[in-house]
Amino acid sequence: MRQGAHEQETPPQAEKRPKVEIGWLLEGDLTSEKREVARSAAAAVQRSLATWMPDFDWVTETLDRPTTADFGRIEPVRLLDAAEADRDLRSWDFVFVVTARELHGRELSRVLGMTSGIFATALVSTAFLDDPVRHEAPLASRLHAFAMHLFGRLNGHVPDRSSTWMRQVEDAEDLDGMEGFEPAVVADLAKRMAEVADLRVEEMGDERQGRLGFYARSLWQNRSHLPRAILRMRPWSFPLKLRRLTTAAGSALAVLVMTAESWEVAANLSAATILVLSIAAVAVTSVYLIRVQHLVTARQGPLREQRAVSNAGTIIAVGAGMAVTYAVVLAVAWLLAFGLFGDPLIASWTGASDAETASVRIRVAALAASLSVLIGALGASFEPYGYFRHVTQIDDEI
């Protein structure tokens, strides 16, 4: 579904240098003028990267989407899906998606752009980048500066108070006057690009390794990048961001802890059984949410290292997020069990001696947490379209 593709020419001497490929997807809502501006920005980004990191062969390709008449706010995950398909097909290392439509932000009302480290993709909206009054700050220069800023973010760098491309961006005006990277940032980016430009697993020619072997080799090749991408997904924030999951789990917890039958069942379960139930609850909820929210791509075709890494990273992040959720619910249940229920009441419900009541409290807290997380996952399945994926796969809104 493309109208055109444009690739920047690579000089002959660049063939010996490690290649880093960047794709630019120009959405169909862009006017012809803005498409040309985006192409100019893409070329400027290529020149800037070649200037600051000349040891690499920077290849840029732009693709035009078909013209569309839809100009309302767009869900970022829709753009991510399209970008992931093209990244997979063309083996791009990084992707910039440029749209004229407003991005549907969950934290900010005016969103200039977003990053998704697990997909190595940045989304850019020109809706708030334009400045028709100040002609000294044209869209092309802002788009160039913003792309360099997002490139740094995609590779793990955080905004600062400098005048470089990594300066904190809150409004479009903050993009004016940006220039260059700090030497330490350049050194780190060069190290990261050396890993990115390595031969991909599918290019190594070992066709006998199978799917499991391919995934294992892909994860090993990306062992330094994958943890950073998972951390940028902030799985520890899931209990706060996934409000329906937390609300459903909290409601279930209140009922379970207050029920005498829960205490009686927990008192008769061994510690090993409670541990197995806890692990199973986290695993089952993670698998359920991944499937019902369509977090993992299952496209036909040959295996790709990038797809293997993004799938594995998403699975690990969701599993970690559910483990954090379980831990939070367990802590609340433990506080309720110790704060509201005295030894005589517990003994009357369970027949436990005074010496055993502490153990019973811990077991009922773990049992209630396991069941509450399972029920909470059902609540998360009713999140609005795109919300769960936005929380798990969008790192930053700018």
Q: Do 183 and 223 belong together in one domain?
A: no
Within-domain flag for 204: no
Q: What's the pLDDT score for residue 3?
A: 42
Residue 21's DSSP bridge partners are 59
Q: Do 159 and 288 belong together in one domain?
A: no
Q: What's the pLDDT score for residue 1?
A: 38
More confident residue, 375 or 380: 375
Within-domain flag for 284: yes
Q: What's the pLDDT score for residue 5?
A: 53
- Quick: pLDDT tens for 23-36: 999 998 888 899 99
Q: What's the pLDDT score for residue 21?
A: 92
Domain boundary pick from 134, 162, 196: 196
Lowest mean pLDDT among 54-58, 116-120, 123-127, 150-154: 116-120
Q: How confident is the model at residue 13 (pLDDT cuts 50, 70, 90)?
A: low
Q: Could you give the number of structural domains in the chain?
A: 2
CATH number of the domain at 22, please: 3.40.390.10
Q: Do 223 and 182 belong together in one domain?
A: no
Work out the widest C-alpha separation in the chain, in whole angstroms: 84
DSSP calls for 87-124 = HHHHT-SEEEEEESSPB--SS-SS--EEEEGGGTEEEE
Q: Do 235 and 309 belong together in one domain?
A: yes
Within-domain flag for 203: no
Q: What's the pLDDT score for residue 2?
A: 40
Q: Do 183 and 220 belong together in one domain?
A: no
Mean pLDDT, all residues of the chain: 84
Asked if residue 200 has pLDDT above 80, the reply is no
Q: Give me the phi and psi of 304, to 5 degrees please.
A: -125, 140
DSSP calls for 255-285 = HHHT-HHHHHHHHTS-HHHHHHHHHHHHHHH
Asked if residue 297 has pLDDT above 90, the reply is no
DSSP calls for 197-231 = TSPPGGGS--TTSHHHHHHHHHHHHTTTHHHHHHH
**Rounded distance between C-alpha atoms, residue 338 and residue 358, angstroms:** 8
Q: Provide CB contacts within 8 A for 67, sequence distance 6+.
A: 3, 28
Asked if residue 184 has pLDDT above 80, the reply is yes
**Rounded distance between C-alpha atoms, residue 134 and residue 132, angstroms:** 6
Q: Give me the phi and psi of 122, to 5 degrees please.
A: -120, 135
Within-domain flag for 202: no
Q: What's the pLDDT score for residue 39?
A: 93
**Rounded distance between C-alpha atoms, residue 126 and residue 103, angstroms:** 10
**Rounded distance between C-alpha atoms, residue 261 and residue 249, angstroms:** 19
Contact 118, 393 (CB under 8 A): yes
Within-domain flag for 242: yes
Q: Do 56 and 90 belong together in one domain?
A: yes
What single DSSP character describes residue 242?
Answer: -
Q: Do 254 and 228 belong together in one domain?
A: yes
Q: What's the pLDDT score for residue 8?
A: 55
Within-domain flag for 245: yes
Q: Do 147 and 292 belong together in one domain?
A: no
Range of the domain at 253: 212-397
Q: How confident is the model at residue 369 (pLDDT cuts 50, 70, 90)?
A: very high
Mean pLDDT for the stretch of residues 239-252: 87
Q: Do 153 and 246 belong together in one domain?
A: no
Within-domain flag for 370: yes
Cα distances from 265 to residues 33, 257, 308, 349, 394, in angstroms, run 69, 12, 42, 10, 41
Q: What's the pLDDT score for residue 69?
A: 67
Q: Do 349 and 240 belong together in one domain?
A: yes
Q: Do 97 and 242 belong together in one domain?
A: no
Q: Count Cα atoms within 13 angstroms, Cβ side, for 118.
A: 33
> Which three-class secondary structure state does DSSP give residue 57?
strand
Domain boundary pick from 143, 169, 196: 196
What single DSSP character describes residue 72?
Answer: S
Q: Count Cα atoms within 13 angstroms, Cβ side, for 318.
A: 27
pTM equals 0.82
Q: Do 264 and 377 belong together in one domain?
A: yes
Cα distances from 7 to residues 24, 58, 65, 86, 224, in angstroms, run 10, 11, 15, 14, 30
Within-domain flag for 122: yes
Q: How confident is the model at residue 66 (pLDDT cuts 50, 70, 90)?
A: confident
Domain boundary pick from 136, 165, 196: 196
